[in-house]
Amino acid sequence: MAILYNMFKLLIIGQIARVGYFSTCQAIFLRPAGRPPGPHLWRHRPADIATIVRRALPCVCGPGERSRIQVKEKILWLSIAICENVCYCQTNDVIRYWGKLLMIKQKKSRTVSIRITKEHESMLKKLQGVSEMSQTDVLLKGLEVLGGYVGAESEKASLGEKLKELERAALEHAEEIREIRKKEDVIRELVKELKDVDRIIDKHQCEPSALIQILLEIQSEKRWLSKPTLIWVAERLGVPLSRVMHIATFYKAFSLEPHGRHLAQVCLGTACHVRGAQQLLNKVSMALGIRPGETDSEMKFTLKTVNCLGCCALGPVVMIDEDYYSDPSVDELKQIADDLE
């Protein structure tokens, strides 16, 4: 029953997270043997999923069984079929496996049906809140539990093997989807970035004389100048890329590497220098755990030195984001850093 509960939990988490768990679940159980895994089960409409399920089912449950699948929409039922101590679960408001869904006929099989009440629902919501897992994690977790279960308790080796194989395929599938998503994300990011750049360029009426101003605005918005950005700016303004690069490397304000979310600038101007700017720099470096010019691995802070912040009367000063601090101690600095997100 504990397994049942786990499955239930995982399924529901997947459900409520409105994740691909359901559809990926199809992939676990229903991907036709011999067909390469792919995103073809993704993003299908519920009705299509039903068709796919129907088409795919024979390779799991043998011919003649397909008529047992009923598709109904918007029914909140969860059906879990247990066969040979292996749970076959389907759920959702879309598809139900009715009655004896005995794909592999065994004696000890039984079917459990649970109606989801309001209480269930709120409990499940809570569960999801606790788990805070991403879609893929929910999927993988589910597989882990399943796999472990199969390995430990299945009497029928072939079934275990089959499941293992399916699990492997599902993992590959998930990995592939992740890759595709990653690529998609990169492209989407790039498009978004260039759109932002476009907005800034348009604001300056595409004037080549506004080149420095445009780069400054991009820098302050994006915290760095990426290669595509520089190429794009050169392209749009009709100036040679070499000139854009000349500017981007000449001025201190520009960075060709991503900055952290927060910027700490230690003044090394004369007034601060004679009042111990170097010691302050050491302190900041110690508090943030990075050296001047570096960004920490979590992309939280970048530490830079500057020539004057215009607060010379209170030197030595460090500016963290928009705020100035006059000679703070290491502990104060740590506090400031911790308070920032």
Task: Give the interface with another protein as residue ranges (CB under 8 A).
Answer: 207-213, 215-216, 239, 243, 246-247, 250-254, 267-275, 279, 282, 286, 306-315, 317, 322, 324-326
Nearest distance from C-beta of residue 310 to another protein, angstroms: 4
According to DSSP, the β-strands at 323-326 and 317-320 are antiparallel
As a whole number of angstroms, the distance between CA 143 and CA 174 comes to 11
Nearest distance from C-beta of residue 329 to another protein, angstroms: 10
**CB of 190 or CB of 312, closer to another protein:** 312
Q: Which entry of ligand FES, another protein, none binds 50, CB below 5 to 8 A by partner kind?
A: none
Candidates 20, 160, 260, 315; binder of ligand FES (CB under 6 A) is 315
264 to 283, contacts with ligand FES by CB under 6 A?
267, 269-272
Q: Is the bond preceding 316 in cis, omega lying within 30 degrees of 0?
A: yes
List, in order, residues 6 or more apart from 37 with CB less than 8 Å away. 27, 31, 169, 170, 172, 173, 176
E-assigned strands of 102-260?
110-115
Q: Which entry of another protein, ligand FES, none binds 246, CB below 5 to 8 A by partner kind?
A: another protein
Nearest distance from C-beta of residue 171 to ligand FES, angstroms: 56
**CB of 56 or CB of 319, closer to ligand FES:** 319
* Separate counts of helices (H) and strands (E) for the chain: 13, 9
> Residues 37, 176: contact at Cβ < 8 Å?
yes
Nearest distance from C-beta of residue 333 to ligand FES, angstroms: 17
According to DSSP, the β-strands at 262-267 and 301-306 are parallel
Binding mask 221-260 for ligand FES (x = CB under 6 A): ----------------------------------------
Q: Is 326 in the site for ligand FES (CB under 6 A)?
A: no
SS3 assignment for 274-332: HCCHHHHHHHHHHHHCCCCCCECCCCCEEEEEECCCCCHHHCCEEEECCEEEECCCHHH
List, in order, residues 6 or more apart from 244 with CB less than 8 Å away. 211, 215, 230, 233, 234
Q: Which entry of ligand FES, another protein, none binds 306, CB below 5 to 8 A by partner kind?
A: another protein
Q: Which entry of ligand FES, another protein, none binds 282, CB below 5 to 8 A by partner kind?
A: another protein
Binding site for ligand FES (CB under 6 A): 267, 269-272, 308-312, 315, 317
